[in-house]
């Protein structure tokens, strides 16, 4: 059950040690946000903004976070969406759904952060064959190879 139906946002440089309930703290410098769990349990919820984690939208008045926030490691196991500063309760997920999402998340991170394979030059490269001029090739074709 969601206790906080709406979040007030505050742009800060550093996330405060004590989070005020009902406030979404946003640090653009550290590309992250934090809030006290919207169910009211008081647990801290950290939401990093990265290409493979959450996206934050600020329309000048309200904030939205995507995708949903699933607090699967917290005792409350709350699940909600923050849409234009409103907190919308989402359906609970089964263990299978949670594990499938964790696998998808790991795969997305692996694809995004994977370094292209290094191409190492061969240990002992073959000596380059000297290039013949056009006249040397014509001569070899007309006269034949040297013996």
Whether 135 maps to a domain, the answer reads no
Whether 116 maps to a domain, the answer reads no
Average pLDDT, the chain: 88
Whether 21 maps to a domain, the answer reads yes
Q: Can you give the residue range of the structural domain that contains 31? A: 8-110
Number of domains in the chain: 1
H or E stretch covering 135: helix 134-143
Whether 120 maps to a domain, the answer reads no
Whether 3 maps to a domain, the answer reads no
My answer on whether omega of the bond before 67 falls inside 30° of 0, hence cis, is: yes
Residue-wise burial string across 94-124, b where 16 or more C-beta atoms lie within 10 A, e elsewhere: eeeebeeeeeeeeeeeeeeeeeeeeeeeeee
Whether 144 maps to a domain, the answer reads no
Q: What's the confidence (pLDDT) of residue 129?
A: 66
CA atoms within 13 A on the CB side of 92: 11
Whether 122 maps to a domain, the answer reads no
Whether 36 maps to a domain, the answer reads yes
Q: What's the token pair of residue 43?
A: 């647990």
Interval 110-137: pLDDT, tens: 888 885 555 656 666 666 667 777 777 7
């Amino acid at each position: 059950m969601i206790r906080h139906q709406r979040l007030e946002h505050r742009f800060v440089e550093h996330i405060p040690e004590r989070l005020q309930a009902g406030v979404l703290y946003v640090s653009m410098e550290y590309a992250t946000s934090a809030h006290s769990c919207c169910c009211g349990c008081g647990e801290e919820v950290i939401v990093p903004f990265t290409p493979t984690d959450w996206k934050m939208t600020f329309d000048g008045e309200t904030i939205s976070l995507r995708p949903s926030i699933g607090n699967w490691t917290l005792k409350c196991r709350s699940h909600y969406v923050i849409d234009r500063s409103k907190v919308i309760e989402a359906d609970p997920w089964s263990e299978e759904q949670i594990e499938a999402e964790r696998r998808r998340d790991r795969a997305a991170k692996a694809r995004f952060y994977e370094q292209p394979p290094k191409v190492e030059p061969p240990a002992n490269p073959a000596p380059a064959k000297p290039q013949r001029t056009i006249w040397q090739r014509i001569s070899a074709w007309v006269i034949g190879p040297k013996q």
